[in-house]
Amino acid sequence: LKKRNNKKKKDIVTITDEAKEELKKIISTNEKENNNKNNLNSNNNLNSNNNINNKNNLNSNNYTNNNSDNKTILKLFFITKGCNGLTHSFNFISKNDIHKEDEIIYDDQNNILLVIDRKCILYVINTTLDYYKDDLNEKFIFKNPNITSICPCGTSFHFTKKK
């Protein structure tokens, strides 16, 4: 992977400070769980199924770990779900799983913060990713001007193809 040069390019997705901190927490937790799993596997030859379901799924945001070593990078993609068609989802991947056409967003220390699946890039341009937390709820909020309709429950959304 090429490191970003000193010229800061504008990311296609704006990530608020709150969302950056939460993404870093999720990545850190996953790294710790991977390290613990690796220690168990090497010491006891155990195979553990490590599915990550962080923050009780944060409503429609899914977090999964494909149960392989070094899967410490979060990738954003869409899945078909709900009454309106699509929902955002996250998956942990390794650096080797990053496609050359995926969009990579770096944090201030030039570490990979988020990878956006190449099939989603055109649909997330100018999106703001925020994180909301109160006494009852916590979730990522995608403020996406490209979405043309959202189901009443807020689980899924739809894009209209531009002519």
- Whether residue 163 lies inside any domain: the answer is no
Query: In sequence order, what are the residues at sequence separation of 6 or more whose Cβ sits closer than 8 angstroms to the Cβ of residue 143?
Result: 127, 128, 129, 130
| Any domain includes 84 | yes
Lowest mean pLDDT among 20-29, 95-104, 122-131, 154-163: 154-163
| pTM for the whole structure | 0.74
Using one digit for the tens of pLDDT, what is the confidence trace for 6-46?
456 789 999 999 999 999 999 999 888 877 776 554 443 33
Domain residues for 117?
13-35+51-155
Is 136 part of a structural domain of the chain? yes
* 89 closest CA partner among 77, 98, 105: 77
Residue 77, pLDDT score: 95
Return the pLDDT at 142: 93
Domain containing residue 147: CATH number: 2.60.300.12
* Other C-beta atoms lying within 10 Å of the C-beta of residue 87: 20
Cα–Cα distance between 78 and 89 in angstroms, integer?
A: 6
Q: How confident is the model at residue 85 (pLDDT cuts 50, 70, 90)?
A: confident
Q: Is residue 40 part of a domain?
A: no
**Higher-confidence residue: 135 or 155?**
135
Q: Is residue 46 part of a domain?
A: no
Residue 7 in any domain: the answer is: no
Let me know if residue 162 belongs to a domain.
Answer: no
Q: Is residue 44 part of a domain?
A: no
Instruction: Report the domain count for the chain.
Output: 1
pLDDT of 82? 80
